[in-house]
């Protein structure tokens, strides 16, 4: 039988997921000292871990070259296409927030507002819900710069503690744009063809997650 292939978002989500799998009794030594390898076996070879960038996790799972993936809800909301979202893993918690310069009433006036963000789709959806027609500028790096330099009226970005914003003189205008955490996703066909293996793994992960709460 082919190993179950799971794509992990490199970095913190990878560490947290590996931690969870370890608690669940899988041997994760190959992932812990991986060197430069990107495909790694865990357990006794029944699972294979692939390390990838967040948006690529979705691409691999959607195309069925990976059966499962662990990726942040932020990436899903921005790139979401067709796959199954089967478990909220509870870690990697943060939220989408709208933030602007201090002492500025963002909603005042009828001028078209400009929003800088790494997440244009999330931003569009959020303002559509408010019935606001806005202009979006996509920024790749530190989004906080845009309002400071005068390029944008506000930003939509993920916020964990809010300290970066504070240090740069920005305040949160709204932080209920959407709550974020890591999700376990599955390829549509894989979930049907390998139901018992995937459900067993998801159940184990869910149990461990509940324990560590």
- Contacts of other proteins in 16-45 (CB under 8 A): none
123 vs 187 by CB, closer to other proteins: 187
| 68 touches 48 (CB < 8 A) | no
**β-pair partners for 138:** 117
Provide the b/e sequence for 165-198 (b: ≥16 CB within 10 Å).
Answer: beeeebbbbbeebbebbbbbbbbeebbeebeebb
Rule CB under 8 A: say whether 111 interacts with other proteins. Answer: no
Among 44, 82, 111, 163, binds other proteins (CB under 8 A): 82
Residue 200 within binding range of other proteins, rule CB under 8 A: no
Does residue number 65 form part of the binding site for other proteins (CB under 8 A)? yes
Among 16, 152, 190, 205, binds other proteins (CB under 8 A): 190
Nearer to other proteins, 27 or 175 (CB): 175
d(CA 89, CA 20): 9
Q: Is 130 in the site for other proteins (CB under 8 A)?
A: no
List CB contacts of 59: < 8 A, sequence separation 6 or more. Answer: none
Q: Closer CB to other proteins, residue 192 or residue 207?
A: 192
Strands 39-42 and 170-180: unpaired
Q: Which residues bind other proteins (CB under 8 A)?
A: 59, 62-65, 81-88, 183, 186-193, 195
């Amino acid at each position: 039988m082919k190993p179950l292939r799971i794509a992990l978002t490199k970095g913190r989500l990878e560490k947290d997921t590996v931690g969870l799998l370890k608690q669940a009794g899988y041997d994760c030594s190959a992932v812990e000292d991986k060197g430069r390898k990107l495909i790694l076996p865990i357990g006794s070879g029944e699972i294979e871990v692939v390390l990838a960038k967040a948006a690529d996790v979705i691409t691999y799972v959607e195309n069925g070259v990976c059966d499962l993936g662990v990726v942040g809800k932020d990436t899903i909301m921005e790139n979401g296409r067709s796959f199954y979202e089967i478990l909220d893993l509870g870690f990697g918690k943060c939220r989408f927030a709208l933030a602007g310069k201090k002492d500025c009433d963002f909603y005042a006036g009828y001028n078209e507002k400009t929003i800088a963000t790494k997440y244009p789709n999330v931003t569009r959806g959020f303002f559509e819900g408010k019935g606001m027609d806005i202009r979006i500028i996509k920024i790749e790096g530190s989004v906080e710069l845009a309002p400071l330099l005068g390029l944008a009226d506000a930003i939509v970005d993920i916020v964990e503690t809010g300290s970066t914003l504070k240090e740069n003189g920005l305040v949160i205008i709204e932080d209920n744009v959407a709550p974020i955490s890591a999700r376990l996703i599955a390829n549509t066909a894989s979930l049907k063809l390998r139901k018992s293996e995937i459900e067993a793994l998801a159940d184990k992960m869910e149990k461990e997650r509940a324990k560590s709460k």
